[in-house]
Structure 1
Amino acid sequence: MSSAEIILRKANPEDVNIIWGILLQAIERRRKDGSAQWQNGYPNLGTVENDITKGVGYVLMVNGEIAVYSALILNDEPAYDTIDGAWLSTGDFVVVHRVAVDEKFAGQGLAKKLFDHIEDFARSQNISSIKVDTNFDNTAMLKILESKEYSYCGEVYLSGGIRKAFEKIVM
């Protein structure tokens, strides 16, 4: 991957079907891993369309091909207002939701690369904090967050369940 051109860009309406295909793979991967996350009809095609309409859908491109999808939302996650624990900061933040890697790019460290790009994105917006949550049984994401030095802050209630909440200060 070292010689690959990797860029983060806003998703556009033409990307919807590719993104939805990647999310379907991720939903199935969660199911096969025995995770309850994403097994209740969320996210769905409407979620992706809504992300793109709102301008919060992003894709990580590898050599011109969509490899990873994520929603990056500024300061807007009502569920984060109530945390059983404490966030590291109270200022502006980027929320990371719906991270999904295309199967053909799996195992190449691209989710970690996505988080590097999200940190750059946050800094470019003069935002010092990134917040993310995941299911207790999403071991892949928990490992990524640990490797990227996100701090466990407590639990939030989201999408009908308790989620582990993490934050990283990036500037």
Structure 2
Amino acid sequence: MIEQIEFRQATPEDASAIWEILQQAIRRRKEDGSTQWQNGYPNEQTVESDIQREIAHVATLNGKVVASAALVFNDEPTYDVIDGAWLTQGDFLVVHRIAVSDEVAGKGVAKKFFTYFEEFAKENQVFSIKIDTNFDNLAMLSILEKWGYTYCGEIQVSDGARKAFEKVLK
């Protein structure tokens, strides 16, 4: 079933599905005891902005949106200051707001999405992916460890510190 996953840039028609998936992820973070995404961010305006900026990407299963993420090249001001050190100083892809629907959570969609992120970066001649997550987002921390991301230090966002990771692609 999960083999039929396809990836693409999101369209305005995907906005409601992306927002529904983000709401599910927000609820899961809360149920897991995480403080991440519990302050009104991300919200519907975030989804609309990501689509307008053409940084929203989705995973679909049989045409239905089942996961989303925002992919941004180089433009992440909060990464300019890190308590630690990035592995590289060149171009990079930032992955934000990864969310998987309840329908496919735990079925390998996130794994396939991370493969897509790497392929997308390489297609654009970028060989570094940077990502951050909350200290208590155990699901994402586990994924990052499994995918070979290196912990680089802490960055500061509006509601506090985040763990920052980087993976250098071959």
For this structure pair, what is the TM-score category when the shorter chain's length is used for normalisation? over 0.9
Q: CA deviation at 1:161?
A: 1.0
Over aligned residues, Cα RMSD in angstroms? 0.9
Which one-letter code corresponds to 1:119 in the other structure? E
SS of 1:60 mapped into structure 2: strand
Q: Secondary structure at the match of 1:137?
A: coil
TM (normalized to structure 2)? 0.97
Question: 1:101 and 2:100 equivalent?
Answer: yes
Please state if 1:135 is matched with 2:127: no
Q: Percent identity?
A: 56
Q: Describe the superposition over 1:75-129 as per-residue Cα deviations: whole angstroms up to 9, x where unpaired.
A: 0100000000000001110000000000001110111111111000000000000
Bigger mean CA deviation after superposition, 39-48 or 57-66: 57-66
SS at match of 2:6: strand
Q: Give the structure 1 partner of residue 35 of structure 2.
A: 36
Question: What CA distance in whole angstroms lies between the structure 2 residues aligned with 1:90 and 1:131?
Answer: 11
Q: CA deviation at 1:63?
A: 2.4
TM-score normalized by the length of structure 1? 0.97
Tell me the secondary structure at the aligned position of residue 103 of structure 2. Answer: helix
C-alpha distance in 1, partners of 2:106/2:86? 31
Q: Which amino acid aligns with 1:162?
A: A
Q: Following the alignment from structure 1 to structure 2, what is the Cα–Cα distance between the partners of residues 160 and 145? A: 22
Q: Following the alignment from structure 2 to structure 1, what is the Cα–Cα distance between the partners of residues 158 and 28?
A: 19
Aligned residues: 170
SS of the residue 1:104 aligns to: coil
Aligned pairs for 1:1-171 within 5 A: 1=1, 4-171=3-170
Tell me the SS of whatever aligns to 2:28: helix
Q: 1:159 deviation in Å?
A: 3.1
Q: Whole-Å Cα distance in 1 between the matches of residues 119 and 110 of structure 2?
A: 14
- Which whole-Å CA distance do the structure 2 matches of 1:92 and 1:8 have between them? 23
Name stretches of at least 5 consecutive residues in structure 2 with no aligned partner.
Answer: none
Shift of 1:6: 1.9
Residue 62 of structure 1 and its aligned partner are, at CA, apart by 1.9
Amino acid at match of 1:68: A
Give the SS at the match of 1:116: helix
